Amino acid sequence: MLHYGAQFTRTHHVSHTSRLLLAKGSDQRATRFLTTVVNARIPRPRKEFAANYDAKAVEEGWYEWWNTQGLFKASSADFASRSSSSSSSNSSSCSENTKKQPFTMITPPPNVTGSLHIGHALTFSIQDAIVRWKRMNGYDVKWIPGTDHAGIGTQSVVEKMIMKERGLTRHDMGRPAFVKEIWKWKEKYGNHILHQMRRMGASLDWDSEFFTMDRDRYEAVENAFIGLYNDGLIYRDTRLVNWCCALETVISDIEVDYKDVAGRTLISLPGRSKLVEFGVLHDFSYKVVNPDPHGIQELTVSTTRIETMLGDCAVAIHPKDERYKSLHGKSVYHPILEKEIPIVCDDQLVDMEFGTGVVKITPAHDPNDYACARRHQLPIESIFDKLGRLNSNCGIPELVGHDRFEVRDTIVRKLCELGSYKGRNDKHVMRIAVCSRSGDVIEPLLQPQWYIKCKELATISKKQVENNQMQIVPEQFVQDWYRWLDNIQDWCISRQLWWGHEIPAYQVKIDGSPNHDRGELWVVGSDKEKANLKAVELLKQEGYPQNTTFELIKDDDVLDTWFSSGLLPLSALGWRGRQSEPIPSRYPIQVMETGFDILFFWVARMAMLANHFADHKVPFETIFLHGMVRDAQGRKMSKSLGNVIDPLHVIEGISLEKMKENLLHTNLPEKEIETSSHNLEKEFPNGIPPCGTDSLRFALVQYTQQSRQINLDISNVIQTSYFCNKLWNLFKFGLPRLQDPGFDLTLDIDLKGTSLVNRFILSRMANTIDICQKGFESSRLFESTDALRRFIVEDVCDVYVEFSKSALNRSDLDQREKSSTLRILHACMDISLRLAHPFMPFVTEVRDNNTGINKEANINGIRWGIWQELYQHMKATINSSPNVPSLMVESWPSQNQFSLFYDNQVENDFKVILSIIHASRSLRQGHQISVAKELPFTIVCNDDSVLHGPLSMYLNEIKHFVKASDLRIQATSSEMDAAKWTTKVINDKLKILVPNTNVMKAQLEGAAAKGIQLDAVIQNKHAQLSKKLKKLNLDLDKLKEKMQQPGYFKAVPETVKHKNE
């Protein structure tokens, strides 16, 4: 039995939390059900069924009510019928072994750097659709929300804010005061982010909400670091890192942006009044030491970073380059430092075909040079300090303390004076690495940092995917997983920031001993007391005397944000990393859904860390990845481009003026605000109209068929709001026709005895349920939304509603057929809501909108009292618990139940008939003939399967649908005089015809009925036919000319020639 809706029985309650009670059915099987709560302060939303769909009115109030009822922790299994009847439409689509099975998922925690953007909205739309679907399938859903402290991002944005508002740096304030300001920021914007999550309709378990620097997560991170260190997986080393001089910290690869320049370009960098030059290639030479008299005297190299030549320790050539064979084992003079540096042979660094085939080696400021230096045991000395200024290693005392970019002119001048400068190329194409947070150019810099050994951890995570213990969808990303893990490097996990998880490590300084550059004596501990015990033990192991005095210096650095978020498969479930602590019962996470761009930076690191602490038990069953959201032109979302979209602006609407005003409250430089404002005018000249949450969610999920890059066009979201209106109008049409309280809505249909259109819509319904189910199962949700949209718009609204209008208004219609039509109409409404709910949770609560109707209100002419009776009647048709409060905890439609309705032949037959109906309407419309006017039709079909199939089987139904006074079917029109017939061609084997005399007569009668002069009608018709004849003759002349072209009979296919003739 299919049912529409159930009234919620209100019960008195004193708590916000729902209580699960255990009852026993007559079948002795324990059944869990939920006793829900109505909080007196948040009553059930009172809605009027308005004449038109209004997203704001529809969506308002539901989220708070859902949450206070505990529905985000409930499932359809809590309300499952104790009846074992398999005929009920409310029979759960989940089998017995899936009821109340746990389904756990976490949100990728948004950074508390500001507001959610449209990429976050995509994530929440996909994830909420999944958890709502699981909830309707009877799973015990736990979807955990959280936010990320986002160390470098948050510190950077707060630094900019304080500088803009107060003119202070963080150093002016001091670390404690600055961190206090960040906590204030977190409270403000973290709360705004949580509000945005709620506004997106995300059905999250708010009791499990986390922040990556809250007490439990802090403890987990601290204990994880200590555990990894004790296990020998964390170590300290001095290596080349991505360094941001503006922020004075190492940054991860994901925080590096790239700017392409094509030739000399002046770029503005933070903290500088003067523009910096890029896209220039400088040439200079090194004199060969003791050259052969007739051999090579000097080697010329090219560089875009002339300032780094002060750190050159060698030049490299290719060992197979015949030009330089005589220089193997020799040296050159450094032109400015006047010292010898070796010539090394390196086939990995040098490309013989590029430039002169000679490369300068600056190992402390270039990753490729660094690798070369390691291969050849060359000295590696940094010539820049942490602020990007020359240090004493540069060899020129008067330049110490000068900025890296400002010394370029000085060095070029010195090289010119020495005769070593060979010129410059101002058209060099290059890519610049820039810090995404500060905008400063990245400086490769040697710095001591903390690292995690990743090779073994990566191997385990790779094998889990190879062995199908973890599934990655779409499959195209599996190879990315393998490639990244195969080529993984040890992970630098320390950051030189003030905001973040402080590293629980202490350097052991021996009294009276010189400092060690690498700080080789380190211990870890959750506090200084524990670290002190470790230090005593370490000194004993190192052979120091027992009475050795020492000092513990706490590491000032913090951990990479990805380290704390990498522990979330465990820490989000309450794990704190304590010794002998059991793995959380809800581990592993069933689905990890996120953007593909952080597959390595986050997902792989979660897998590696969680595997280590969970004894190699996989952290996820499925890794589900979506594409990157870009604007309609395919550009990356950027504040400076003015194309960043706040989901709330799409949901609630916003004017262009307000969008431009919001720019003034950002940290963007004044010039970028101007550029962004101009771009906003081009992108959103009329602002963004209010579309509602449902429209945004549905449109975003539909976009996921673009698996790598989603080019979001707001007009598509606007179009989806029309779809919501279509669904709304379906209920406006259907509900008044289901008003008879005595009518049985049970879907008990005799398929053989019902009409073709009824069998068609039931088949389409079965097919749609199947596609939607498979779409969720295969993580191809866009297939579900596409099938659902086509079913509701094309099948139900455009076809079945129109057919049912006609059927229900016929006085001669058999009562049994009328009853079947009403039951099927009701089923269409019910199934549409259930299938749509995971994607559009607000509008699908339309079924309960009557609860707030004013008793004096009228809906389509029906008074409230009748509506009340109708809903009570609908409730009585439900063969399950009457206390299902929301569609959220209704059951998902069962494939098995509806599969018997599927009939592909019926669908194909009906499509033929539908094409004839559309053709007949088109013919009438083209000749201004009323659809109510009967005409004699002749159908010509030279396809035997159609002729002896649907045309013969459903002749009477076709006659009724096309309003035919007479209907004839024949296989050919060869004996018909085409000049006497008005024809509408459906395809090359099917067409419909009406005698011209009947067409003209109908036109004249229609004109007369409207008081139009017949002479005017005739003249107008003559003009139309003359125009049509003229065009036909022109087309015929063109075709004749084409057929007379040389080679026509050889080049043109026989089928085309036959058609032309």
940-974 residue pLDDT tens: 999 999 988 889 888 888 898 899 999 999 998 88
Domain stops at, among 690, 716, 733? 690
Residues 402 and 315 in one domain: yes
Distance, CA of 310 to CA of 407 (rounded, Å): 11
Do residues 1061 and 920 both lie within one domain? no
Structure letter (DSSP) for residue 1045: S
Residue 244: phi and psi, rounded to 5, are: -100, 110
Q: State pLDDT tens for residues 46-89.
A: 777 788 889 999 999 999 999 999 999 998 888 874 333 333 34
Count CB-CB contacts under 10 A for residue 315.
Answer: 24
Sign of CA dihedral 878, 882, 886, 890: negative
Residue 634 within any structural domain of the chain: yes
One domain, residues 296 and 313: yes
Separation of alpha carbons 1008 and 537, rounded Å: 110
Q: 227: domain CATH number? A: 3.40.50.620
Domain at 926, CATH number:
3.30.2320
Strands (E), 157-208: none
> What's this model's pTM, rounded to 2 decimal places?
0.84
The secondary element (H helix, E strand) that includes residue 832 is helix 815-836
List the one residue out of 110, 111, 94, 102 whose CA is nearest residue 202: 110
Give the model's pLDDT for residue 880.
38
Quick one: which of 760, 789, 625 has its CA closest to 695? 789
Helix (H) or strand (E) holding 926: helix 904-926
Q: Which residue segment(s) compose the domain that 1031 sits in?
A: 1013-1061
Are 419 and 342 in the same domain?
yes
For residue 845, give the nearest of 886, 813, 807 by alpha carbon. Answer: 886
Task: Report, as ranges of residue numbers, the positions in the chain whose pLDDT lies below 50.
Answer: 1-40, 81-98, 515, 517-518, 849-881
Is residue 889 one of the residues assigned to a domain? no
One domain for residues 455 and 565: yes
> What's the sign of the alpha-carbon dihedral 66, 68, 70, 76?
negative
DSSP 570-585: HHTTT----TTPPPPT
pLDDT of 485 reads 96
Q: Are residues 410 and 472 in the same domain?
A: no
Coil, strand or helix at 709: strand
**Dist. CA 1007–CA 1018, nearest whole Å:** 10
**Residue 252, both tokens:** 């991860």
Within a domain: residue 571?
yes
CA distance 957 to 492: 74
SS3 call for 991: strand
* 3-state class percentages of the chain: helix first, strand second, coil last, to nearest 5: 45, 20, 35
Q: Is residue 368 part of a domain?
A: yes
Secondary structure of 933-968 in HEC code, one letter for each residue: CCEEEEEEECCHHHHCCHHHHCHHHHHHHCCEEEEE
Q: Is residue 52 part of a domain?
A: no
Report the amino acid identity of residue 597: D
Comparing CA positions, the residue from 355, 337, 346 lying closest to residue 299 is 355
Spatial separation of the C-alpha atoms in residues 704 and 726, rounded to whole Å: 23
Could you give the C-alpha distances from 589 to 568, 572, 585, 620, in angstroms and in order? 10, 10, 10, 5
Report which of 1, 249, 4 is spatially closest to residue 830, judged by C-alpha positions.
Answer: 4
Total number of domains in the chain = 5
Residue 824's nearest CA partner among 885, 891, 737, 882 is: 737
List the structure tokens of 105: 């998922």
Asked if 480 and 597 touch (Cβ cutoff 8 Å), the reply is: no
**SS3 of 86-125:** CCCCCCCCCCCCCCCCEEEEECCCCECCCCCCHHHHHHHH
Going by C-alpha positions, the residue among 1014, 991, 803 that lies closest to residue 912 is 991
How far apart (Å, rounded) are the C-alpha atoms in residues 364 and 381? 6
Q: CA 489 → CA 210, 349, 458, 645, 695, distances in Å?
A: 30, 19, 10, 36, 43
Same domain, 348 and 319: yes
Distance CA 332, CA 338 (A): 10
Q: What single string gives the DSSP state of each residue in 227-289?
A: HHHHTT-EEEEEEEEEEETTTTEE--GGGEEEEEEES-EEE--TT-SS-EEES-EEEEEEEES
At 514 the pLDDT is 60
CB-based contact 4:829 (threshold 8 Å): yes
- Beta strands (DSSP E) in 824-918 are 858-859, 862-863
The whole-number pLDDT of residue 741 equals 63
Say how far apart CA 1056 and CA 1052 lie, in whole Å.
Answer: 7
Q: CA 280 to CA 668: how far, in whole Å?
A: 28
**H/E segment holding residue 495:** strand 494-495
Among candidate residues 626, 660, 680, the one where a domain is terminated: 626
Burial of 429 (0-12, 13-18, 19+ CB in 10 A): exposed
Tokens representing residue 939 in the block = 């159908």
Give the pLDDT of residue 85.
37
The pLDDT, as a whole number, for residue 889 is 92
Q: How many angstroms separate the CA atoms of 261 and 254, rounded?
A: 21
Do 462 and 608 fall into the same domain?
A: yes
| In-domain check, residue 967 | yes
- 1047 & 1032 share domain: yes
CA distance 285 to 293: 18
The confidence score (pLDDT) of residue 99 equals 54
Domain boundary among 675, 690, 705: 690
829 within some domain:
no
- Residue 619 forms part of a structural domain: yes
In this structure, are 650 and 596 located in the same domain?
no
Contact 62, 849 (CB under 8 A): no
Give whole-number Cα distances, 65 to 5, 70, 850, 884, in Å.
18, 9, 16, 14
The whole-angstrom separation of Cα 766 and Cα 761 is 9
Domain of 402, CATH number, reads: 3.90.740.10
Largest CA distance in the chain: 123
451 and 312, same structural domain?
no
Beta-carbon contacts of 988 under 8 Å, excluding residues fewer than 6 positions away, are: none
| Residues 592, 612 share a domain | yes
What's the distance, Cα to Cα, between the start and end of the chain in Å? 59
